[in-house]
Structure 1
Amino acid sequence: MAGEQRHLHALSGEDPIWRLWRELPGPWKGPVIRDGIADWEKITENGDRSIDLTGLPDVIAAELAWMSHWQAMDGTRSSVLGTNQFANILRRAIRDNHPFPTSMRAMDWEKAAALQRWFYATRWGRLPPHGSVARLRVIFRFSRLALLVRCSEGRWWSLDEWHPRCDPRIPLAEHEPQAHYGCSPSKITQPWLREAVKWCLGTQLEAGTLRWSTVSQERMRCFVRFDRWLETFTDPLDVLGDPAHAVQVAAAFRRWASDPANRLLRQSEQRFAHRPVAVRQVNDDLRAVAELFAFVAANPAEVRQVLGPHPWSRVTDAHAAGWFRQVSRIPGRRELNDEHYVDGHALAQIPAALPLLGLSRDQQMLVTRGDGQQVTARGFDDPQAMRMILLQILTGRRSSEIRTCRFECLSPVPDRAVDAAEGEQIARFHYAQSKIDIAPDNILIDAEVVAVIEEQKQWIRDHFPDVTPRHLFMQRRGNRQGGKPYPSGSYNWMLREFSKIVKITDSRGTSVSLSHTHRFRHTKLTRLAELGLPVHVLMRYAGHATPSMTMHYVAARQEHAEQAFLATAKLRADGTHVAFSRDDHDSLHLFNRADRFLPHGWCLLPPLQTCDKGNACLTCSVFVTDASHQSALERQLTETEALISRSITAFQERHGRPMPEDNVWLLQRRAEHAALTKLLDTLRSKPGRAVQGAGCGAAPTGPVPLALDLDRHRRTRP
């Protein structure tokens, strides 16, 4: 293992590991790794213990040294115990002449686990404990994949395991967050299909046709299901047979993919075995296969070079067309409903329960569930999840846009924007727009949102004092350099467990799972639409590229028309406000009674009653109006004043004396004039308005108490 021996290897045909080994810092070259490495205790998981690689074959020792260094540079901790344990296993195998692969690249997890079982069986006569298996597993996850990537001389997509964390060559979109999840083409068991899928998806990623999130989380799963379906064939290559039968073959796959039991890829998905399969999901599977056939048919020369002549040379455009024909048509216009809307009854329960997420695990809190039952629960010790879901509720952003937003996400706004807000101080929030490149990536926010962000910033400074944070929400462990955002899997798991305890329910008694955070986006956009925001403004806030997508999020609630009516300030003829109740069924019938709509207001006369007062509405107790009729009321006041003046003058000329004030006609006109004057005075007056502070200044010194305003969407500011 002496360092001088490394340079005796010839450069021609040299094993790539020696190139990596020469690039290692001196203290990491071993054979004993610890001395000379700064902050060793911080970059390892076992204090001051050293990594001992003595007595191992040169290639394996160099590989383990490089893998340990990669773990430290990745921001995780070098696996001292796991590496030393594996070194002990190999040294014993050398002593007992037990066979093992000649390199870490040739030794996959199954072979390493078999070696470990042999070691424990021959030394202690038992199977390895779970902790030992877990420590060894760590070595064969990311660090070994990173080693395979660095030693690979082919295209990145030629490997059977893909992970951006280990392979920086994988293309990521500019606004796509640094992905900490991968995918495994190795799960496709048919070699001819696996190689074609890798080539097709890799090429589309490099061309920007697909994104990494689409490939890793959706498209690869489609091909894995297709591969499982091929196992039902006596000869899987029959799927590439006569193109005239492509439609029938695709129809068979569609029927198979429509069965929920056939879509389960993991044991943990068994709870979804009885859920009906959406047409869109089956369409995605069919479209993925059809696009693969179309890609192969469009590139015959590259197919022969990359995949060889067999069996893909038989694929034509007719195969792709046959599969595309099985894609079911989904009506382009979706019927709007309130399926994804979270009503006020459910939202009122969330702020009271959220502190449970931030409490430490040794603290308890009394929680009132949605069914009214009170339970005592232990804290989840995750204040980051508490603030993330609160920001999603307040802003309507996607979970990825909050979870991966950068640390310096606030910026001031121009003075003209503050002036337009009538004195309300606001700030600009830059979220992580990761879905649509041409869409905006910032919105204006108020003091409540700024307070939550500033509180999270202070939490990061307190818990990661030695790093320059990249993200506002950070992974708490294995993140020594501070470059990893809060994991999506941890966020979803935390909210699922939290929902099981608090059991939030809506007004209909239906359970609301907080892990389905996209519902809060539907809710926020629906409430903004109910405030009367124009579609282009709503689209800008949502970060969408088209108004049709924005309207997809707006829930068509039956009570929307009622709320729009009740939200405005209604005034009686004497200028006083009318207090409405949502249970006032008589007023709700106005929407079906055209005769109750007046030129200058509304008539609240019960539908079964009739009016015999003619046009005397201004002196009627069931007449109401609002600011939307101000111009009509002003015109009527002017005309009433002119009518009174003309009539008084005509009476004087005809009778030679002034019209008496108790004249029945004049009394009615004076009453109408007084009513109009009171109404317009009330409408023109602007009641005082509270000014909320916001901005990007100093962080608050303590927790920020927040209460969701559930009635804000029902009010309009004068």
Structure 2
Amino acid sequence: MRPDLPERLRAVVTNPVARLLADLPPQWQGEVLGPGIDGWAARIDSGRHRRLNMRGVPERLRVELAWMAHWQYRDGAHVGVTGYRLIAVVLAWAAQNHWRVPESLATVDPAELTRLFARCFQARNGRLPAADGYNRMTTVLGYPRLALMARLNDGPWWALDTWHPRCDPRIPQREREPLGYEGCSPGRAQTPWLREAIKWHLATLLESGTLVWSTIVGRRVLALTRFDRWLATLDDPTAVLRDADRAGALAAAFRQWTSEPDNRSAGATNKSSKATPRLLNSDLLAVAELMRFMLDNREEARMLLGSSPWDQLTEAHPAAWSRLISRERNQPPPVQEDHYVDDHALAQITACLPALGLAEGEILTVTLNGQDRTLPGRGDPQAMRMLLLQILTGRRASEISLCDFDCLSAPTDRALEAAEGEQVARFRYGQSKIDRAPDTILVDAEVVAVIEEQKRWIADNFPDVQPRYLFLQRRANAYGTKSYGRGNYGRVLRGFSETAQICDSQGCLVRLSHTHRFRHTKLTRLAELGLPVHVLQRYAGHANPTMAMHYVARREEHAEQAFLATRKFKADGTAITFSREDHDGMHLFNRADRFLPNGWCLLPPLQRCDKGNACLTCGVFVTDDSHLNSLTRQLSETTALIERTTSQFEVRHGRPMPDDNVWLVERRAESDALRRLLDAMRAVPGRAIQGAGSPTSGPTPVVIDLTRHRKSTP
């Protein structure tokens, strides 16, 4: 907590040692920690020190160190014994040699403690410490110190400069938060009167339920700290609140400043392109709402924060900033190509996906576009299954990472009857965005297989815990209470994208870390299959159909076909009767636009076919039993042609035709494809068959080896 806080926000902690000791079990209260603590050997870091010796450390600091170590233990992380020991040695040396000892680890400046460590190490060893020692101390002064600050804070929770739900249970949160283990630092603002107003304003919105934690972390704190950095560029920052006549001009200046990529990020990295109107509006709205809040609560602000420039705020200020929020008139293009993953890219993704689950050091060989490629194993089978579930179900990344361990249940009898004997289950995902939206969908056997494999992986890697989530954080999670982090998920997929180099049919690189594209793709395909809007809305988990339509790629070709499929006209323009059979023939599955002699091509209109006449072995070729006689005759003729031609070759050349003969390879591929098509057609009579003749024997090759990553290399 900063010393320049108003008097009312300064917390006076009565007897902090007694408070901390009340939280510690007896075996954690001695000068030496280790013996007698259950599971100590398995829960400490890999350093050479197995005990935490704190002899000679002043009592309050010793109790604080023990409390921080105990907090790490309860949090499920490994206790950093080496880092705690370094701090204990430094504090004991400073007390013995009459150096200034910090009053508390909760209020000490980490830089001051680092300098004290350097003096101690030099006095004891005659040289400066290596970087490893600093790093171990920094780790201890991270989350455990934030938790200590929160525990010793008697004032409002928002008075702290850094907020983190993991360290401070007083922070209001919903049951599910997609950013539940991420914190924010509203106290990073350098302007004192703005900093305290930001913290009070955001805390009030959070406690009242007006905003949720993920919204505050995701945009509000960034927007308001960006406003603080802009104030630092002014000669007089208080002019923003004092001069009502210049309020509009200053708001326009801020909008111009925040639109520049170099100004949107405080660091030298992560520079994005010029901000979109939506992002600029978000920044202006955050400032306008802060001004309106301070204006509506003027008296309470004066009591809580004392006299400040906010006293000069007038009604004209928030109104001037609100007027600059522009209306977003530009609509997205009809084809949202950057939101859609075509079949060409999807086939490559599912072919490369097993490399994510393979152990590091193993190699996966795949054939892409006729070329063999080798991909190294990434050692993250959880990320592999998370991405596969996003592809198959169209769920958000947060909904997959936050879904419960027991997320499958039996469907209703009506659903089983509609499934016509196919295996289905009800999947409950981690709905984290819309509280009143549904959180279950029906899934098929493939999704169930992925989930069951993930449960087996958890049983092998977390054998002694009852996990809350289906996908678990690998480290600092001894009790299985933390879900797989979205930040780590994005980093893994970015690295995998750079290695796999997957491109779509237009040659554009597909970045797998943009996982929301799979949601757009799934909903677009369901819409093109003719799913009613209200059913699509229910599947997407949206509260209204408008948002569901936002996710559907708007294709002009598909719209025209859907319209023409409803009407037929004679040459004179008069309407004729239109039957369901006609509809199936012209627009099978509401997607087909290519007619073939023995079936239909389901390739979306956006894509071009580069297979020539190899439709029988194509994954988007579909046919039904109306072409049974034609396909049977084609198989008989192809078999006879192969026998006749190979016999003629042997008579002419005196040897059998080689198996790698180009003509023979193609004819045998056609023959095999025809047999698979006919077998599939006879197995399910009366139904359309898609992709049965392809080498993968399916419409899209999404089948992966779910157990390969668990097999040891011979």
- Band the TM-score falls in, shorter-chain normalisation: 0.7 to 0.9
The verdict on how the C-alpha distance between 1:219 and 1:163 changes in structure 2, with shifts beyond 3 A counting, is: same
The equivalent of 2:78 in structure 1 is: 77
Which letter does structure 1 place at the counterpart of 2:486? S
1:107 CA displacement? 1.2
The equivalent of 2:23 in structure 1 is: 23
TM-score, structure 1 normalization: 0.77
Asked if the contact 1:407–1:470 (Cα under 8 Å) also holds between the matched residues in 2, the reply is yes
The equivalent of 2:297 in structure 1 is: 299
Which letter does structure 2 place at the counterpart of 1:485? S
1:299 CA displacement? 1.1
The equivalent of 1:35 in structure 2 is: 35
Which letter does structure 2 place at the counterpart of 1:110? A
Q: Deviation per CA, 1:254-290: give whole Å up to 9, x if none.
A: 00011111112233314x3xx2211111111111000
The verdict on how the C-alpha distance between 1:495 and 1:161 changes in structure 2, with shifts beyond 3 A counting, is: same
Which letter does structure 2 place at the counterpart of 1:315? L
The equivalent of 2:349 in structure 1 is: 350
1:243 CA displacement? 1.7
The equivalent of 1:259 in structure 2 is: 260
The equivalent position to 1:411 in structure 2, one of 378, 401, 409, is: 409
Q: Deviation per CA, 1:91-115: give whole Å up to 9, x if none.
A: 2222332223121112132222222
The verdict on how the C-alpha distance between 1:567 and 1:404 changes in structure 2, with shifts beyond 3 A counting, is: farther
The equivalent of 1:278 in structure 2 is: 276
CA distance in 1, matches of 2:553, 2:318: 37
CA distance in 2, matches of 1:343, 1:562: 20
1:177 CA displacement? 4.8
The equivalent of 2:365 in structure 1 is: 366
Asked if the contact 1:369–1:504 (Cα under 8 Å) also holds between the matched residues in 2, the reply is no
The verdict on how the C-alpha distance between 1:226 and 1:125 changes in structure 2, with shifts beyond 3 A counting, is: farther
Asked if the contact 2:13–2:153 (Cα under 8 Å) also holds between the matched residues in 1, the reply is no
The equivalent of 1:113 in structure 2 is: 114
The verdict on how the C-alpha distance between 1:158 and 1:711 changes in structure 2, with shifts beyond 3 A counting, is: same
Asked if the contact 2:45–2:81 (Cα under 8 Å) also holds between the matched residues in 1, the reply is yes
The equivalent of 1:568 in structure 2 is: 584
1:568 is paired with a residue of what secondary structure?
helix
**Aligned ranges for residues 133-532 of structure 1 at < 5 Å?**
133-177=134-178, 179-270=180-271, 272=272, 275-331=273-329, 334-339=332-337, 340-368=339-367, 374-532=372-530
The equivalent of 1:636 in structure 2 is: none
Identity %: 50
Asked if the contact 2:58–2:92 (Cα under 8 Å) also holds between the matched residues in 1, the reply is no
The equivalent of 1:538 in structure 2 is: 536
2:374 is paired with a residue of what secondary structure?
strand
Asked if the contact 2:524–2:551 (Cα under 8 Å) also holds between the matched residues in 1, the reply is yes
**After alignment, is 167-176 or 121-130 more displaced?**
121-130
Asked if the contact 1:63–1:147 (Cα under 8 Å) also holds between the matched residues in 2, the reply is yes
**After alignment, is 334-343 or 401-410 more displaced?**
334-343
Asked if the contact 2:345–2:504 (Cα under 8 Å) also holds between the matched residues in 1, the reply is yes
Asked if the contact 1:570–1:578 (Cα under 8 Å) also holds between the matched residues in 2, the reply is no
The equivalent of 1:89 in structure 2 is: 90
The verdict on how the C-alpha distance between 1:119 and 1:422 changes in structure 2, with shifts beyond 3 A counting, is: same
1:126 CA displacement? 4.2
Asked if the contact 1:411–1:428 (Cα under 8 Å) also holds between the matched residues in 2, the reply is yes
1:560 CA displacement? 2.5
CA distance in 1, matches of 2:381, 2:421: 32
The equivalent position to 1:709 in structure 2, one of 699, 705, 712, is: 699
User: Structure 1: 5+ residue runs without aligned partners?
Assistant: 1-11, 589-625, 628-684, 691-704, 713-718
The equivalent of 1:665 in structure 2 is: none
Q: Deviation per CA, 1:457-508: give whole Å up to 9, x if none.
A: 1100110001111110001111001101111111000000000011111111
Which letter does structure 2 place at the counterpart of 1:183? C
The equivalent of 2:621 in structure 1 is: none
1:368 CA displacement? 4.9
2:238 is paired with a residue of what secondary structure?
helix
CA distance in 2, matches of 1:279, 1:368: 43
The verdict on how the C-alpha distance between 1:14 and 1:173 changes in structure 2, with shifts beyond 3 A counting, is: closer
CA distance in 2, matches of 1:560, 1:584: 9
Asked if the contact 1:569–1:577 (Cα under 8 Å) also holds between the matched residues in 2, the reply is no
Q: Deviation per CA, 1:227-273: give whole Å up to 9, x if none.
A: 11111111111111222221111000000011111112233314x3x
1:335 CA displacement? 4.5
CA distance in 2, matches of 1:296, 1:583: 57
**Aligned ranges for residues 683-698 of structure 1 at < 5 Å?**
687-688=686-687
Asked if the contact 1:336–1:554 (Cα under 8 Å) also holds between the matched residues in 2, the reply is no
The equivalent of 1:67 in structure 2 is: 68
1:706 CA displacement? 9.6
2:539 is paired with a residue of what secondary structure?
helix
The verdict on how the C-alpha distance between 1:505 and 1:350 changes in structure 2, with shifts beyond 3 A counting, is: same
Q: Deviation per CA, 1:499-521: give whole Å up to 9, x if none.
A: 00111111110111000000000
Asked if the contact 1:570–1:577 (Cα under 8 Å) also holds between the matched residues in 2, the reply is no
1:149 is paired with a residue of what secondary structure?
helix
The verdict on how the C-alpha distance between 1:150 and 1:174 changes in structure 2, with shifts beyond 3 A counting, is: same
Which letter does structure 2 place at the counterpart of 1:151? L
TM-score, structure 2 normalization: 0.77
1:374 CA displacement? 4.3
1:144 is paired with a residue of what secondary structure?
helix
CA distance in 2, matches of 1:545, 1:336: 24
Which structure: larger Rg? Answer: 1
CA distance in 2, matches of 1:129, 1:368: 48
The equivalent of 1:675 in structure 2 is: none
CA distance in 2, matches of 1:578, 1:584: 19
CA distance in 2, matches of 1:533, 1:276: 38
CA distance in 1, matches of 2:202, 2:688: 56
The verdict on how the C-alpha distance between 1:333 and 1:536 changes in structure 2, with shifts beyond 3 A counting, is: farther
CA distance in 1, matches of 2:296, 2:198: 15
The verdict on how the C-alpha distance between 1:35 and 1:225 changes in structure 2, with shifts beyond 3 A counting, is: same
The verdict on how the C-alpha distance between 1:197 and 1:118 changes in structure 2, with shifts beyond 3 A counting, is: same
Asked if the contact 2:257–2:263 (Cα under 8 Å) also holds between the matched residues in 1, the reply is yes
CA distance in 2, matches of 1:526, 1:39: 51
CA distance in 2, matches of 1:522, 1:567: 26
